[in-house]
A = this chain, B = another copy of it.
Amino acid sequence: MATSAAARFLAALAGAAVLLVLLGGAAGAVVGHDDDAAAARRTMEEFAGFPASDYRGDGGGGSGGSSPFYVDSDGLQRQIDELASFSDSPVPSVTRVLYSDKDVQARRYIKGIMNQLGLSIREDAVGNIFGRWEGSEAGLGAVATGSHVDAIPFSGKYDGVVGVLGALEAIRMLKRSGFQPKRSLEVIMFTSEEPTRFGISCLGSRLMAGSEELARSLKETVDNQNVSFFDAADSAGYKMHPEELHNVFLKKDDYFAFVELHIEQGPILEKEGIKIGVVTAIAAPASIKVEFEGNGGHAGAVLMPARNDAGLAAAELALAVEKHVLESGSIDTVGTVGILQLHPGAINSIPSKSHVEIDVRDIDEKRRNNVIEKVHQSAIEISKNRGVLLSEFKIINQDPPALSDKSVISAMEFAAKQLNLEYKLMISRAYHDSLFMARISPMGMIFIPCYKGYSHKPEEYASPEDMANGVKVLALAMARLSLQ
């Protein structure tokens, strides 16, 4: 049995410089005999015309050079810059909101690259886009990768994008190196990860993971211009009947593994000079919408004792969120008031309404829920003390944390070792589509450093070298998983 497997294996990897790297581990694992591995290496050297050692990983993110196993860093950077041009805010910032014209242009751009790579393209009802490289055993669960290209207002051009364009570059590398996947490889562009338009994070992956609750709530969901979700989707070319949302649901074994490449969005890798983060868990995110209503009135005429100021209630609550988070007893607890809006929003008018949106996360779900409960109590107390109505305290999402799968972690560790890249096991405090893919597939994430940990702002930056390292680790990890 071992001999025919080796033959198939060698055929799959004929000309695949990747084999040499993989032979350092997977090939041996597949054929089970070291001497066969040596034989396979000699074959490849004759076939490839260069010594095996060249593929120990040049570590230098070499963007060209003789071996086909290189990252076209210039090409990748050009694509990132071109994609960044589809934005509703001026350079260097990027604003690309779900189903906006710029989002539609970005989707067309991504599908163009998938076409060039010869991937078979599929789009589901809400606009998740799938580019598949059929494997030799296409019936098996595929190995998927991917991320998102929507961007919150005034953000940067790397968040999510590195995991889509970088994944397509990883496929290009594997194709260029002659690699032939056993399990199909699929790159997913999730329809939207940012909550900007409808207040729902990871809308695409949440549906793929089978969220009945989201399939229900989307029927009444409108954005802040009162445009319904379905009208917005229709405007972007995704006309659907509400019942079609269930077609977006995936089955548990659709994927053998899902691995996402992403910038760290934090300062640790850069600070510690480490090139790769192997993510072991994703923190549990939660978001809350709160609204207060008071009497409002004229800023001059209404004396202080007669006031019930919805704006001051919101200010108090923002500081209460900070207090409860700092008192959680763990540095892993974070809380943010990213949105605070006053109505009518005139300098000489006491705010009659305030709208607050709160983001609370922790790697410990119970601790995170405890903070949410305290924030709720504070909101009730503040409304009583200030004589304002707590007209809404709505938990938009309260997701559990997600653990990366051991098999995917080992594939990522293997790839980093093979490429001689120092790596660090770490937690992702930011949520990602991986958080929901973990519900239907073994999941893992690869982090690369980003400048000062900046993200969600124009200064967000990842170097070509760091991106090249991430792409190579992703390519090898996917290749390895594909052959399992």
Taking CB atoms, residues of chain B closer than 8 Å to A188 are none
Q: Which residue of the partner chain, among B201, B287, B457, contacts A349 with CB atoms under 8 Å?
A: B457
Q: Mark A324-358, 1 if CB is under 8 A from B, else 0.
A: 01100001111111111111111111111000011
Q: Chain B's nearest CB lies how many Å from the CB of A361?
A: 5
Contact A336–B348 (Cβ < 8 Å): yes
Stretch at the interface among A8-16, A40-48, A150-158: A150-158
Closest to A326 in B: B304
Q: Which of A69-77, A98-106, A314-322 is the contact stretch?
A: A314-322
Residues of chain A in range 280-301 having any CB-CB distance to chain B below 8 Å:
283, 285, 287, 295-301
Please tell me which one of the listed residues B153, B340, B350 contacts residue A311 in the complex, with CB atoms under 8 A apart: B340
Q: How large is the interface on A (under 10, 10 to 19, 20 to 34, 35 or more residues)?
A: 35 or more
Query: Does A405 sit at the interface, judged by CB under 8 A?
Result: no
Interface status of A461 (Cβ within 8 A of chain B): no
In the complex the two chains form, what is the Cα distance from A341 to B339 in whole Å?
8
CB of A344 within 8 A of CB of B429, answer no
Whether B265 contacts A298 by the Cβ 8 Å rule is yes
Asked if A196 contacts B346 (CB within 8 A), the reply is yes
* Contact stretch, chosen from A139-147, A407-415, A448-456: A448-456
A153-B345, A325-B304 are contacts. A336–B359 as well, Cβ < 8 Å? no
B contact residues around A316 at 8 Å (CB):
315, 319
Determine if A433 is an interface residue (Cβ-Cβ < 8 Å). no
Give 1 or 0 for each of A190-205: 1 = CB within 8 Å of chain B CB: 0000111001010000
Beyond A297-B455, A337-B311, A338-B342, whether A348 also contacts B195 by CB under 8 A is yes
Do the beta carbons of A285 and B305 come within 8 Å of each other?
no
Q: Does A91 contact B (CB under 8 A)?
A: no
Q: Does A347 lie within 8 Å of B340, measured CB to CB?
A: no
B339 touches A347 (CB 8 A): yes
**Complex contact B338–A340 (CB within 8 A):** no
Asked if A444 lies at the interface with its beta carbon under 8 angstroms from chain B, I say no
Interchain CB contact under 8 A, B298 and A430: yes
B338 contacts A346, C-beta separation under 8 Å: yes
- CB-based contact B301/A457 at 8 Å: no
* A344-B153, A345-B338 known; A312 vs B322 contact (CB < 8 Å): yes
Q: A306 at the A/B interface (Cβ < 8 Å)? A: yes
Is the CB–CB distance between B457 and A344 below 8 Å? Answer: yes
What is the CB-to-nearest-CB distance from A83 to chain B, in angstroms, rounded to a whole number?
A: 19
Q: Does A423 make an interface contact (CB < 8 A)?
A: no
Shortest C-beta distance, A353 to chain B (Å), equals: 10
List, sorted by A's number, 11 A–B pairs whose CB atoms are closer than 8 Å.
Answer: A199-B347, A266-B301, A296-B457, A299-B334, A304-B322, A305-B331, A312-B337, A315-B316, A338-B342, A339-B346, A346-B456
Residue positions of A touching B, CB distance < 8 A: 152-155, 194-196, 199, 201, 264-267, 283, 285, 287, 295-306, 309, 311-312, 314-316, 318-319, 322, 325-326, 331-352, 357-359, 361, 428-431, 453-457
| 10 tightest Cβ-Cβ pairs between the two chains A and B | A300-B430, A266-B301, A315-B315, A299-B336, A265-B301, A152-B346, A315-B318, A347-B357, A154-B344, A298-B455
